[in-house]
């Protein structure tokens, strides 16, 4: 009994002395400047303090395994899980100039509505990316209601995004705010960006700013990689699934001194097992192997900032018939890709005070080589791209600001299909002027215009207008209208269509197979031109101590000129031709709601309706018919739920996609091999994550109910016959997949 009493007394005094401990630390900005007056407090407690002139704080301990919240105006707040009260903390907050208009809860939302942004923009955070089996950029949109990603065919594994009812070729892809993944890299570019490298994804809908060029017709997707100044010293991500797909990602950062920092990214993935779940003799998806490396540098001296980056990607894809089960001479598809990139950004800030002024130069380039063979048909292409832009921005007052600049973009294609050459090049030079008027952040008007000269299409003008109005603090109304242009690269962007026996025509001239058309000069295709207009309303409604976010939007895209991809005129042919005054448009309307019902829980529901139609013409009769675009869902509904337990020990995620039916390409009336429409389908994904101090493990399931398109390949038994077609994909081509992985990081602070 005495031992029990002594033990109880000892425990009491030990806990008392432990509770009397104090936790100490410093709070800095990313530039290593101390943040004076930063708020530091224990989560769920009234105990708190603020930092002194040196950024130092001292706070009575709440014991081990508690969350410490640190916040400062203009910076993103941070949550630190304290497991050792004796260790002095070094906390670095990331600057976020838009933070005062973004509601931040104790658990940071996975997708953040950029309330200060003039253009309707959502940021997909690292937390949102980690909610799914995200191994690359394409897979990171699984939980996003706005962007659809699906296979373009069942042989090459090419993926296509869709935004506002149109294909991804009408979305401007940016990496670190410069154009990227254009032309031949468009069908596979999203597989070249590992999800573990990402710091965030910014999705903007509708026409964008003219400073980024003339190409954005339905919107922009900008990818931001991790920055060496704020990244962990080292991080590692390992992934594997029950189909024997394996992936490893690693990155490391170095702070050489206060002015110079660097970061190295590595990626390797391998998916070489053969899978044929429907026993049609063809692989469900291609066998792939990819190596990816990137190195970036950041240099800052006073008001001068410079960034440099190099990157190399090598990938092999092998699809077609499974050579283990196929007879002699199987139908095989092979694509070997080597891609190199570089970029540099140079900026000088003349004034950082209330009226900022800056000058910046951005240059990037890429060399993309792809050697492909579709059965016995070789297709080789090399694309060279160079992009340079000079930008000057100045604020004359709090209400008036101006941005202007010059740009150059060059694309060169060396293409050969069978024995025919389809080389082409285009150089576009231009300039822009953009003015913004800001009335106390309540009304913002931005008008921009740019003029460009193309070596292929001569001179063209791109006007754009954006309006944002906040009648009250909790309501933001945005409207936009503007033009967009695009040069169609038929073979480079659509070479996956070679995975069929369809003949390919440009206009009325046969291109493939055995065509006499030699080069694009024989057929003049229009530069695509469209007008996009839209309106969006976002409401941030306080409900108790939480916030309900409601948004509704409508966008309309009308083509004035377009290169039509026609798979309806003839079930055995694909035709590319100019719209020639015909109708082509897309309507997209979406509503979305997000609300955290209780602590640690987030919930999002969205519904989108799409109507996209084009006039297709009969080459023989000249008559036209207005039809919905094939293989496009009429609607999509999304429900996502995520719950994180107290102290961030566990996280549970569930995503349900409800995809509406749609129209199939017109089948052969005499011998219909597919239905006129495909039916609605549902895909459910789930994941569980267990968090530890500096690492976590996760396990999940994709396509929980094992839904898949039964016969994505038409006439798979006769791949060299006239009916073979691997491009009729409208749903998942693989069934249920189980996966697991781990993430580990060595934090800098």
Environment class of 229 (CB within 10 Å of its CB; exposed 0-12, middle 13-18, buried 19+) = middle
Going across the sheet that includes 166-167, the strands are: 148-151, 159-163, 166-167
Identify the pLDDT of residue 716: 92
The overall longest dimension of the chain from CA atoms, in Å, is: 105
The region of weakest confidence among 121-125, 441-445, 656-660 is: 121-125
- Report the C-alpha gap between 225 and 294 in whole angstroms: 10
pLDDT per residue as tens digits for the range 165-215: 998 899 999 999 999 998 999 988 889 999 999 999 999 999 999 999 999
Cα→Cα distances 641→131, 455, 684, Å? 10, 50, 12
Q: Are 563 and 526 in contact (CB under 8 A)?
A: yes
Instruction: Give residue 437's pLDDT.
Output: 95
Q: What is the pLDDT of residue 419?
A: 76
- For residue 715, the 8-state DSSP code is T
Specify the pLDDT at position 20.
41
pTM of the entire predicted model: 0.83
**Residue closest to 534 by CA, chosen among 215, 145, 220, 207:** 207
CB 161 within 8 A of CB 149: yes
pLDDT single digits (tens) 612-652: 999 998 777 778 899 999 999 999 999 999 999 988 899 99
Mean pLDDT (the chain) is: 88
> Mapping DSSP to helix (H, G, I), strand (E, B) and coil, where does residue 665 land?
coil
The pLDDT tens digits for 285-295 are 999 999 999 99
pLDDT grade for 58, boundaries at 50, 70 and 90: confident
Residues 462, 448: Cα–Cα separation, whole Å: 8
Edge-first strand order for the sheet with 39-42 is 48-50, 39-42, 66-71, 78-82
Token pair in block for residue 263: 């970061």
Minimum mean pLDDT range among 80-89, 200-209, 244-253, 527-536: 80-89
Between residues 355 and 227, the one the model is more confident about: 227
Q: How far apart are CA 98 and CA 115, in angstroms?
A: 7
Please, how many CA atoms are within 13 Å of residue 322, restricted to the half-sphere of its CB? 16
Across 197-330, where does the E strand assignment appear? 198-205, 219-225, 234-241, 246-255, 260-271, 287-301, 304-320
pLDDT reported for residue 103? 39
Query: What mean pLDDT comes out for the span 1-18?
Result: 40
Say if residue 6's pLDDT is above 90.
Answer: no
639-642-646 Cα angle (round to 5): 160
Q: Binning pLDDT at 50, 70 and 90, where does residue 658 land?
A: very high
Measured CA to CA, the distance from residue 362 to residue 375 in angstroms comes to 42
Report the pLDDT averaged over residues 220-227.
94
For residues 577 and 508, what is the distance between their CA atoms, to the nearest angstrom? 8
**For residue 14, pLDDT beyond 50:** no
Structure tokens, 235: 């991080």
Is there a contact between 171 and 189 (Cβ–Cβ < 8 Å)?
A: no
Domains recognised in the chain with CATH numbers: 140-746 (2.40.170.20)
Q: Do residues 121 and 566 make contact, with C-beta atoms less than 8 angstroms apart?
A: no
* DSSP per-residue letters across 371-427: EEEETTEEEEEEEEEEEEEEEEEEESSSSEEEEEEEEEEEEEEEEEETTEE--EEEE
DSSP 34: B
Residue 535 pLDDT: 97
Q: What pLDDT was estimated at residue 44?
A: 63
CA dist 592 and 654 (Å) reads 17
Query: What's the CA gap between 298 and 573, in Å, rounded?
Result: 51
Q: Provide the 8-state DSSP code for 527.
A: P
What's the confidence (pLDDT) of residue 301? 92
pLDDT tens-digit map of 91-147: 888 776 443 334 343 455 667 776 778 888 888 888 888 888 778 888 888 888 899
Q: Work out whether strand 584-594 and strand 601-617 pair parallel, antiparallel, or are unpaired.
A: antiparallel
Q: Distance from CA of residue 714 to its chain's centroid? A: 31
DSSP tag of 492:
H
* Average pLDDT of the residues in 551-568: 96
Percent with pLDDT over 70 in the chain: 91
- Average pLDDT of 565-588? 93
- pLDDT for the residue 98: 42
Residue 143: DSSP 8-state: T
The token pair at 549 is 């976010």
Q: How confident is the model at residue 5 (pLDDT cuts 50, 70, 90)?
A: very low
Q: Please report the pLDDT score of residue 12 as a whole number.
A: 38
Average pLDDT over residues 219-238: 93
| CB < 8 Å & 24+ apart, contacts of 101-107 | 103/540, 103/547, 104/76, 104/77, 105/546, 105/547, 105/596, 106/43, 106/69, 106/79, 106/599, 107/596, 107/599, 107/600, 107/602, 107/644
State yes or no: pLDDT of 2 exceeds 80: no
Q: Taking Cα atoms as reference points, which of 656, 538, 533, 701 lies closest to residue 145?
A: 656
Are 748 and 231 spatial neighbours (Cβ–Cβ below 8 Å)?
A: yes
401-414, pLDDT tens digit by residue? 999 999 999 999 99
pLDDT value, residue 17 = 40
């Amino acid at each position: 009994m005495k031992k029990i009493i002594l033990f109880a007394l000892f425990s009491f005094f030990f806990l008392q002395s432990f509770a009397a401990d104090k936790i100490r630390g410093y709070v800095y900005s990313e530039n290593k400047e101390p943040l004076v007056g930063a708020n530091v407090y224990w989560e769920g407690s009234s105990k708190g303090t603020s930092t002194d002139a040196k950024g130092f704080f001292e706070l009575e301990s709440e014991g081990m395994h508690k969350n410490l919240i640190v916040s400062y105006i203009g910076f993103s707040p941070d949550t630190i899980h304290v497991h050792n009260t004796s260790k002095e903390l070094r906390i670095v907050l990331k600057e976020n100039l838009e933070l005062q208009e973004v509601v931040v809860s104790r658990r940071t939302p996975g997708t953040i509505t950029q309330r200060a942004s003039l253009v309707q923009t959502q940021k997909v955070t690292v937390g949102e990316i980690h909610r799914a089996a995200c191994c690359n950029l394409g897979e990171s949109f699984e939980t996003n209601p706005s962007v659809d990603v699906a296979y373009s065919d069942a042989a090459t594994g090419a993926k296509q995004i869709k935004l506002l009812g149109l294909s991804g070729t009408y979305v401007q892809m940016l990496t670190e705010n410069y154009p990227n993944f254009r032309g031949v890299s468009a069908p596979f570019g999203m597989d070249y960006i590992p999800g573990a490298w990402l710091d965030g994804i910014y999705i903007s809908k509708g026409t964008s700013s003219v400073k980024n060029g003339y190409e954005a017709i339905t919107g922009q997707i900008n990818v931001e990689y991790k920055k060496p100044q704020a990244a962990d010293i080292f991080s590692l991500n390992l992934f594997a699934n029950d189909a024997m797909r394996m992936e490893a990602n690693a990155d490391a950062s170095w702070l050489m001194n206060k002015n110079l920092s660097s970061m190295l990214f590595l990626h390797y993935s391998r998916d070489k097992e053969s899978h044929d779940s429907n026993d049609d003799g063809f692989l469900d998806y291609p066998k792939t192997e990819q190596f990816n490396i990137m190195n970036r540098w950041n240099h800052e001296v006073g008001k001068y900032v410079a960034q440099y980056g190099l990157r190399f990607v090598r990938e092999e894809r092998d699809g077609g018939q499974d050579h283990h089960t196929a007879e002699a001479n199987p139908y095989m598809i092979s694509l070997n890709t080597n891609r190199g990139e570089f970029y540099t950004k140079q900026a000088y800030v003349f004034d950082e005070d209330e009226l900022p002024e800056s000058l910046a130069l951005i240059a990037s380039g890429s060399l993309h080589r792809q050697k492909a063979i579709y059965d016995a048909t070789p297709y080789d292409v090399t694309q060279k791209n160079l992009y340079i832009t000079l930008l000057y921005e100045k604020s004359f007052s709090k209400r008036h600001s101006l941005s202007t600049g010059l740009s150059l973009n060059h694309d060169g294609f060396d293409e050969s299909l069978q024995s025919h050459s389809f080389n082409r090049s285009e150089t576009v030079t231009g300039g822009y002027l953009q003015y913004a008027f800001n009335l106390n952040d309540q009304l913002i008007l931005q008008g921009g215009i740019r003029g460009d000269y193309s070596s292929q299409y001569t001179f063209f003008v791109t006007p754009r207008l954006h309006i944002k109005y906040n009648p009250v603090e909790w309501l933001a109304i945005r409207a936009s209208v503007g033009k967009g242009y695009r040069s169609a690269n038929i073979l480079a962007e659509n070479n996956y269509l070679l995975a069929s026996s369809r003949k390919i025509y440009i206009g009325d001239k046969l291109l493939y197979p055995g065509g006499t058309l030699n080069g694009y000069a024989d057929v003049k295709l229009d530069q695509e031109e469209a007008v996009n207009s839209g309106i969006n309303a976002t409401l941030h409604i306080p409900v108790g101590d939480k916030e309900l976010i409601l948004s509704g939007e409508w966008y309309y895209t009308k083509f004035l000129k377009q290169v039509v991809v026609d798979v309806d005129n003839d079930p055995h042919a694909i035709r590319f031709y100019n719209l020639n005054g015909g109708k082509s448009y897309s309507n997209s309307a979406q509503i979305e709601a997000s609300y955290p019902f209780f602590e640690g829980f987030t919930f999002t529901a969205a519904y989108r309706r799409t109507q996209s139609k084009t006039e297709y013409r009969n080459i023989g009769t000249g008559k036209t018919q207005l039809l919905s675009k094939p293989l496009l869902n009429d609607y999509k509904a999304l429900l996502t739920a995520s719950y994180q337990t107290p102290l961030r020990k566990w996280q549970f995620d569930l995503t349900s996609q409800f995809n509406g039916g749609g129209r199939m390409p017109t089948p052969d009336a005499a011998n219909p091999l597919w239905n006129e429409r495909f039916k609605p389908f549902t895909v459910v994904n789930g994941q569980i994550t267990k968090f530890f101090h500096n690492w976590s493990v996760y396990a999940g399931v994709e396509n929980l109910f094992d839904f898949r398109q039964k016969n994505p390949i038409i006439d798979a038994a006769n791949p060299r016959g006239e009916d073979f077609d691997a491009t009729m994909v409208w749903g998942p081509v693989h069934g249920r997949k189980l996966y697991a992985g781990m993430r580990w990081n060595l934090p800098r602070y």
